[in-house]
Structure 1
């Protein structure tokens, strides 16, 4: 997890990212963060004003990483459907769920405009990015309508997030895979 070259703030942020994903904000204590990062209380409070400040840095980092992973598929060029398929089929830790989606279930994150902002911004970015690709597919004739790009983008995001939930509930990634295959079938051109 950590390398010898990581600074204390980097170790604290990375440990917080993992703990937020695993336990959520409420279940992540400063002591757990310090233990996971191998940092003392003084180090944590030297670099961050407190748990909310450190959590915000970790949530922002997670959001950046998720955007980069999505963009690697969505920005790869090529046909719209192929880019959406690459995004949907990319490697994921399905049984762990989405690290940002997990935070939407945390009442303290949702109650804090500051902590919630990177989550909202990332989901909005993803929906907008997907809607743009769907519009490209419609414009080129690759995707056939009537499709509303905004609605289809919201459906893609909902399918991914719902797939995580169903897979976690079942203890198997099969539910995620089934949802993705079903969505891709709906995006396939229909024979005339």
Structure 2
């Protein structure tokens, strides 16, 4: 007789993986530990995921969707550049996995980051450029700034914050929040104020 399917198996595995990554870091986490944490047999993990890296990738994609959904809920579908950046920062700071990754504490992502060989980061950046270009097209961003340059500047600043803890020493969540608030204010400089008659 076949074993019954575990309800919400995939989500249970993702939840367990996220908890273990936060507790131990990706490099110290194993499939057997994920299975035990989820209360699922080790073989069932492989019915959902090809391995440890696939699990991490799925956890990070889920966390990214979580952040995006929260930002949309807070600022709607058509926020300004500064408001979107600030909302993303608040969402980031409230998400333990993404905060840990952003602060680079406890070696959360471990060696996985160095093994990503596809162009996901380039595609993500191009989507950001497209979003900034859309702001400009609807008149919410100065016409004389390059969307590519704005997106590159904000992306580079964010990447700099990702490595700041490693290069400058640990940052507190308060320091990170202040830095992102400052970036949000700088980004808002490029916004166009709606006219009084609009």
Q: Give TM-score, length-normalised by structure 1.
A: 0.64
| Corresponding position: 1:106 with 2:110 | yes
- Over 3 Å counting, the alpha-carbon distance change for 1:151 and 1:69 in structure 2 is farther
CA deviation map 1:29-48 (0-9, x unaligned): 12321232122334334554
Asked if 1 retains the 8 angstrom alpha-carbon contact of 2:136 and 2:143, the reply is yes
Deviation at 1:69, TM superposition (A): 4.2
Deviation at 1:161, TM superposition (A): 4.6
Bigger relative contact order, structure 1 or 2 (CA pairs below 8 A, ≥6 apart): 2
SS at match of 2:27: coil
Deviation at 1:153, TM superposition (A): 1.7
Asked if 2 retains the 8 angstrom alpha-carbon contact of 1:94 and 1:173, the reply is no
Asked if 1 retains the 8 angstrom alpha-carbon contact of 2:13 and 2:34, the reply is yes
* Cα RMSD for the two superposed structures: 3.9
1: CA distance, partners of 2:49 / 2:135 = 45
Q: Pairwise mapping of residues 61-140 of structure 1 onto structure 2 (< 5 A)?
A: 61-69=62-70, 72=73, 76-90=77-91, 92-93=93-94, 97-98=98-99, 106-111=110-115, 113=117, 117=118, 121=120, 123-140=121-138
Deviation at 1:71, TM superposition (A): 5.1
Deviation at 1:126, TM superposition (A): 4.2
How many pairs were matched up?
Answer: 180
CA deviation map 1:37-64 (0-9, x unaligned): 1223343345545434444443443444
SS at match of 2:184: helix
Asked if 2 retains the 8 angstrom alpha-carbon contact of 1:95 and 1:164, the reply is no
Q: Which residue of 2 aligns with 1:143?
A: 141
Asked if 2 retains the 8 angstrom alpha-carbon contact of 1:81 and 1:187, the reply is yes
Q: Give TM-score, length-normalised by structure 2.
A: 0.63
> Which segments of 5 or more consecutive residues in structure 2 lack a partner in the other structure?
1-5, 191-198
Q: Which residue of 2 aligns with 1:152?
A: 150
2: CA distance, partners of 1:157 / 1:60 = 18
